Structure 1
Amino acid sequence: MAHSYKPSSRTLRSPGLAHFVEHQFDCSDISSENEGDEDAPSAPELSTALLVALTCTIGGLQTVWLTIFSHGSSYLASLGISEVQISLIWTAAPVCGSIIHPVVGVVSDRSRISWGRRRPFILIGAIIIIIAITALAWIEPITLLLCSLHGKVSMAATVTLYWAVFWVIILNIGIQTLLSGSRSLIVDVCPSEQQSIASAWAARFTGLGNILGYLIGSVPLPFLASNHEAWRFRCMALFAATVLTITAVVTGYFIREENPQHLPYDEAEGSVFARTFRGVYQGLVAMPPKARSVCRVQFFTAMAWFGFLFYSTSYVSGLYLDESCKHGMVFSSALKDRGIRLGTTSSLLFAVAALWTNVLLPHIRCSPETQLLLEKGYAVTRFNRLRQTHILWTAGLILYVLFTLSTFFISSSMGGVVAVALVGLSWGITQWAPFALIGEEIAASHDEGASLSEMGGKTWATNQNGAMMGVHNAAVSVPQIMAAMASSFIFWLTGRFGVHDAVGWVLRFSGIAGAVAAWFAWQL
């Protein structure tokens, strides 16, 4: 179980703090709070190697997300699916995030499988993802074959649409199952003082997965004469499945959990359905107040980022095509492929910027000792106040809002590439800050009381990390449903009135949610 980090008076009086403390103070009140903790069990800190093994699955999962984000829309369009239908299909992701993630979190909290609460769900999720993304990548030839065998070739387009919806739903069920297990495992295994660095490692693997994926996605495919996008998606799907398999095996093999069969267990009454949703409610109630505030920020943050993550590649590609046509070039599939590769290159630069941000953030952020002084009301310099996690998060959100406003003025493809790359700084902070804040709060909250509580005469395990992380994921997923519906409406509206820059308007409207998120982040 994770335990919070409480510096001793010796730590607080170290010379390294003298440069930012503006006046002398007595640390006896802080040290006295820790006197009763000396005999408390303390989870050992994880080595760097174990942190890598713990978080690498997040990187494997990101290669799957990248395949969907960067090439999913173009791939579905190559199957003859309309822009509005594609936008509606993507609502499966937030719907599954709102339902599947909290449910899996509660089920894993109550799991009695001998080799752990979380790792079985990581394995199950990985298997589902590999099957689903492979089936989705080859859906067109499989559908044509089946329709030909039944003499219904004319129905192939309709059947392809239905199968695409089915496999996207299955894919997202697998993603949320694995994500729930991975995020809950990080909170379970890491002590509270390592939650920030664990979140940074998870974000670094996310960035690394993005970079590798974008490199694969930007490679030209000269050996393929037609349907470049379908084959590009298939190559990406194979790459994602391979990376996910390796990372899931590494996490499952090297990370050890407590055997839940050795822990006290609450034999709750009622149906499985009732117990599950009661567990989600208990997870919401058990969340520390600051963690709930983080969920509020995440609600608007997710709404803001949805359009960018799905359409940034299309945005740059569209700028390139417009620019090329203005210079007299004839539209062709080869020209479109070059536009997509330029969009992928911009996303690669975006991922590089995000990765470097994740590498630097733990060093930029104020130390745990400084944070403790701020929470206790001691005066510190303005520079150290600005290095707080929520302030850095606010700055990142403001940068994103400025990008959405810049789309009014950007008309060249190179301008779009530069703008998308710079937004990587904001995305790097967004990947790290909320999980660092919520992980620290949840892990530290377990240390404030005994690890087991008495409720109604029954002893039950208070580890509800899965349920609480599920609530957090629901706060991220529900606004994505709203954003997906809003994007569909914007696409319909721009098409109705003949407005050409539909993707640009999706990005501009997302800036409104980004501004609201920045305000709430500042209030944390």
Structure 2
Amino acid sequence: MEKGQKVELEMMETTGLEKIEAGGTAEKPPVRPISLMRLVLACAVAGGVQYGWALQLSLLTPYVQTLGLSHALSSVMWICGPIAGFVVQPCVGYWSDRCRLAIGRRRPFILGGCLLICIAVIVIGFSSDIGFALGDTKLHCKDYSGARVHAAIVFVFGFWILDFSNNLVQGPARALMADLSGAHGCHQANAIFSSWMAFGNIIGYASGSTGAWHKWFPFLMTKACCEACANLKGAFLIAMILLLTSVAVTVIFANEVPLSEIEAAAKETALDTSGSTVIETESPKKEENGGILNFFRSLKDLPPGMLSVLLVTCLTWLSWFPFNMYDTDWMGREIYHGEPKGTPSQVSAYERGVRDGAFGLLLNSVVLAGTSLLIQPVCRKFSARMVWVMTNVVLSILMAVTCIIGTWSIKDFNNASNKLPVTAEKDVRAVALSLFTVLGFPLAILYSIPFAVTAQLAATQGGGQGLCVGVLNISIVIPQVIVSLGAGPWDALFGKGNTPAFAVASVVGLVGGIVGFFKLPRTSGSSFKTIAMGGH
């Protein structure tokens, strides 16, 4: 081989391998054919993880207040999620692209993350028992309503492990979905992934809405753990079983291509291009930097319209997160007039409200799943931009309606001559559950259109799909930090309820609609393709 040909071929090989090391793929990466049913089963882990997310969203904020954490401080507990999403997902994505284990690049991280989730579930479920053993009190849980400091610390520790573990699984699971899509295409794989998420939401909220776990498994009740605690414990233990089952299905049916085969494909592609024989030489490698540093260096490559998408996404999530974090607490406090640390009748009413809120989230998830099927034809007719703008306006109105319902409920309760029993009025309860249901429509849009517009910008203006979606996740993380740190203290200034945060959410949603109308890129409806990304 001539020296020039050898150098040219080595450069081709190096370029192909460097694309893989940078998180890309070779020109013709090896794809193992996969049937549609096998692809469905390979995405099963999404359902198991989302079941746990649903329980986390519906039950944990109310429960931690029964341990003594204030309503204001309970919001700070959620700061872990944004931190994990900001740090864990980019780094894990970087490392999983380079994993050289024989079982594949993604499955080791999915397995490790799911095992950590199981540990977190056990810590959360048994936090009251652990706190009792550490000396919180010697009284029976029926006779003690004070703070349980050790239990609260253990609970928050488990909560943080759960958030980090969920982020550890989610990134590689989505990358695995794309790796396996093959001839079926990423859009169909995305739809399957989102369907599993919807299924996990539905059964998770159904589990959270029932108060019968302590009856089905009476051995879960202990001196430190009464009915509400036993119900939480039972739901989370079932979550662990479902997660282990789903991850086993994914690991078995996700026939990954190891990195060594992908690198071999890159060399074969270089050989086919050059038409020459390869002389075995060691390809030079660039010095690797940390994944998160490369991620931030790439921000300069964002397409021009991306900044507007990030701004509107940030405003939309600022409008959504207050309800997302406090929905079941709102049902327990404002609708059922309960208190997590009040009298026995108030505690009972609060727990019924939390279960009813979880039932409302179940209805919300059913509507979300159905609406996802309608987004593509609606956007083709009206454009993704206009659908997103109108959804923000609708979200603003619904947040205002939430404030009205809460004020109406509290006013009726305060005006009642006899405030016993502590419970919700039937009309108020029906309207509140209807609100939960209707909110499934804007949530479906929020889970789909920002990601679809981002994908279209990356495809037409450059910047890279992975980079753009990663930056979009940051625009979701920032609002969560703001709400986590600010919602609790803000509500505390106005009587410790949830209405003040919902009022601000209504205003922000309207601002997001106005900004979106003037700033969002004008994507054509005919070229819109739904990418239902879902998640937290």
TM-score by length of 2: 0.71
Structure 2 counterpart of 1:157 = 148
Give the corresponding residue for 1:206.
197
Residue aligning to 2:249: 250
Change (3 A) 1:238 1:277: same
Distance 1:397 1:208, change over 3 A: farther
Q: 2:361 aligns with which of 347, 357, 380?
A: 347
- 2:56 is aligned to 68
Moved more, 412-421 or 280-289: 280-289
Question: Following TM superposition, by how much is the alpha carbon of 1:301 offset from its aligned partner in structure 2, in angstroms?
Answer: 2.7
CA drift of 1:305 comes to: 1.9
Deviation at residue 434 of structure 1 after TM alignment: 3.0
Give the C-alpha shift of residue 418 in structure 1. Answer: 1.0
Q: 2:115 aligns with which of 110, 127, 130?
A: 127
Q: 1:468-483 to 2 correspondence within 5 Å? A: 469-483=469-483
Match for residue 275 of structure 2?
A: none
Structure 1 residue 48: Cα displacement? 3.7
1:490-524 Cα shifts (integer Å, max 9, x gaps)? 12312xxxx36x21221221223333443455513
Match of 2:506 among 498, 504, 511: 511
* Range that drifts further, 162-171 or 388-397: 388-397
Contact 1:138/1:234 (<8 A) preserved: yes
Specify the alignment match of 2:290 in structure 1.
275
Q: Which of the residues 70, 74, 77 maps onto 1:86?
A: 74
Match in the other structure for 1:284: 299
Residue 312 of structure 1 is matched in structure 2 by 327
Cα distance in 2 for residues equivalent to 1:515 and 1:338: 33
- Provide the rounded CA distance (Å) in 1 between the counterparts of 2:436 and 2:234: 24
Deviation string 1:276-299 (CA, Å, 9 cap, x unpaired) is 233212553455555665444332
Query: Residue 405 of structure 1 is aligned with which of 394, 400, 405?
Result: 400
The 1:120–1:82 alpha-carbon spacing in structure 2 relative to 1, beyond 3 Å, is same
Report the 3-state secondary structure (helix = DSSP H, G, I; strand = E; otherwise coil) of the residue aligned with 1:409: helix
* Cα distance change on mapping 1:441 and 1:338 into 2, 3 Å: same
Give the alignment's TM-score, normalised by structure 1: 0.73
Question: How far is the alpha carbon of 1:183 from its aligned partner?
Answer: 2.2
Matched, 1:425 2:413: no
- What is the identity, as a one-letter code, of the residue corresponding to 2:445? I
1:238 shift after superposition: 1.6
Q: Which of 186-195 and 348-357 deviates more?
A: 186-195
Q: Which residue of 1 aligns with 2:276?
A: none
Residues 512, 108 of structure 1: CA spacing in aligned structure 2 closer, same or farther, 3 A cutoff? farther
1:367-424 Cα shifts (integer Å, max 9, x gaps): xxxxxxxxxxxxxxxxx2x1x3444333333321110121243222222111121011
Aligned match of 1:36? none
Aligned-pair CA distance for 1:175: 0.8
Which residue does 1:32 correspond to in 2?
A: none
Q: In the TM superposition, what is the alpha-carbon distance from 1:133 to its structure 2 partner?
A: 1.6
Equivalent position to 2:371, from 352, 357, 363: 357
Q: Is the 8 A contact 1:102 1:471 kept in 2?
A: no
- Distance verdict in 2 for CA 1:235–1:292, change over 3 Å: farther
Deviation at 1:205, TM superposition (A): 2.2
Structure 1 stretch displaced more, 393-402 or 309-318: 393-402
Count of residues paired in the alignment: 436
State how far apart, in whole Å, the 1-side matches of 2:94 and 2:507 are.
34
CA distance, structure 1, for counterparts of residue 315 and residue 284 of structure 2? 36
**Cα pair 1:199 1:435 within 8 Å, conserved:** no
- How far off is 1:147 after superposition? 4.2
In 2, the alpha carbon distance for the partners of 1:300 and 1:361 equals: 21
Task: Determine if the alignment matches structure 1 residue 396 to structure 2 residue 391.
Answer: yes
1:49 is aligned, of 23, 33, 37, to: 37
Aligned equivalents of 1:56, 1:134: Cα separation in 2: 22
- Give the AA of the match of 2:508: A
Match of 1:169 among 148, 160, 174: 160
Separation (CA, whole Å) in 2 of partners of 1:489 and 1:147? 30
Q: Say if 2:338 and 2:346, in contact at 8 Å, map to a contact too.
A: no
Matched residue type, 2:437: A
Superposition pairs for residues 484-523 of structure 1, below 5 Å? 484-494=484-494, 499=495, 502-519=497-514, 521-522=516-517, 523=520
Structure 1 unaligned blocks of 5 or more: 1-38, 367-383, 449-461
The 3-state SS of whatever aligns with 1:81 is coil
> Is the alpha carbon distance of 1:323 and 1:170 closer, same or farther for their aligned partners in structure 2, counting shifts above 3 Å?
closer
Q: Give the match for residue 450 of structure 2.
A: 434
Contact 1:200 1:359 (8 Å CA) reproduced: no
Contact (CA 8 Å) 2:87, 2:292: kept in 1 or not?
A: no
| Residue 238 (1) aligns with residue 253 (2) | no
Counterpart contact for 1:106–1:276, Cα < 8 Å? yes
Where relative contact order (Cα < 8 A, 6+ residues apart) is larger, the structure is: 1
Contact 2:177–2:193 (8 Å) recurs in 1: no
Give 1:350 deviation, angstroms.
1.2
Partner secondary structure for residue 287 of structure 2: coil
What is the CA RMSD across the aligned residues, in angstroms? 3.7
Deviation at 1:127, TM superposition (A): 1.1
Matches within 5 A, 1:94-109: 94-109=82-97
**Structure-1 separation of matches of 2:347 and 2:97:** 50
Percent of counterpart pairs with the same letter?
Answer: 23
Which of 83, 93, 98 is the aligned partner of 1:110? 98
- 2:73 corresponds to which letter in structure 1? Q
Instruction: Quote the offset at 1:193 in angstroms.
Output: 8.6
Contact 2:331–2:353 (8 Å) recurs in 1: yes
Distance across 1 between alignment mates of 2:148 and 2:431: 38
The worse-fitting range, judged by mean Cα deviation, of 280-289 and 127-136 is 280-289
